[in-house]
Amino acid sequence: MPKKIKGEKVMKKAIKRITAMILAASVVLSSGFTSQAASNPYDDVYESDWYYDSVMYVRDKGVMTGVNVTLFAPGENLQRQDFALALMRRYISQGHTVTQKDDGTYYGKAVAWAKDMKIMTGYSNRDFGAGDVITRQDCITALDRYVDACGLIRTSEVEDPYYFTKMEQFKTTYADVDQLRDYSRSIMYVAVMNNKLITGVEKDGVKYLEPNGLVTRGMVSVMLERWFERFGEYGI
């Protein structure tokens, strides 16, 4: 009888030990999942997405946030005022001061700043175009002008000894270069040929820049990360 009691005690200790190990493992696993979830607050952005790292980058830098607490809306087209807002946030994060006043909208200060700094001036009728989606060439043009706003030489104005040779290559590589506007031609050339900040799209073996194509929030996050990582060391 005593031997049986001793055996039961040993069994109980073993069960307790195994239970403790299972509980410890569950705590480790659950804390790991909690940490991963905390690092990505968006329900519509997944690690397998090609823009995942860029979305996390612009969020961590405070340049772009979600459309609400849990959604980034990566497939939604970005509007002009939101691009101005992203650039202003970056400008402030680099130690610059913005003195423009709010107008009661979430973007009013950013639009006024972008216009005053001649980063985004709006249309010929002086309408900024808030609510309009922004195009690829206007994104790149604004980024180039942003460099000037930071007090540096614009990337499109840096002397390139191979300009004419590469410009011919640029024209022959992309079938729709003629769709570039005068104000964006040299800027897009530099962004594509020199800085590799954007690439075109290929359809049936033909490459296109699609300068008037619209850009999604996911695409812009990639564009911004490439730009700021490329020129961040200069205080941009």
**pLDDT values of the chain reduced to their tens digit, one per residue, 236 residues:** 444 444 555 455 544 554 444 333 333 333 343 334 458 999 999 999 999 999 999 999 999 999 999 999 999 999 999 999 999 999 999 889 999 999 999 999 999 999 999 999 988 777 899 999 999 999 999 998 998 888 876 666 666 777 778 888 899 999 999 999 998 998 898 888 887 788 889 999 999 999 999 999 999 999 999 988 887 766 67
Rounded to an integer, what distance in angstroms lies between the CA atom of residue 144 and that of residue 230?
A: 13
Distance of CA 127 to the CA centre of its chain: 26
The pLDDT of residue 157: 62
Rounded to an integer, what distance in angstroms lies between the CA atom of residue 17 and that of residue 24?
A: 11
The pLDDT of residue 86: 97
Q: Which pTM does this prediction carry? A: 0.78
Neighbours of 199 (CB within 10 A): 10
CA distances from 31 to 21, 22, 41, 43, 86 (A): 15, 14, 16, 19, 33
The pLDDT of residue 117: 94
> Is residue 140 within 8 Å of residue 198, measured between CB atoms?
yes
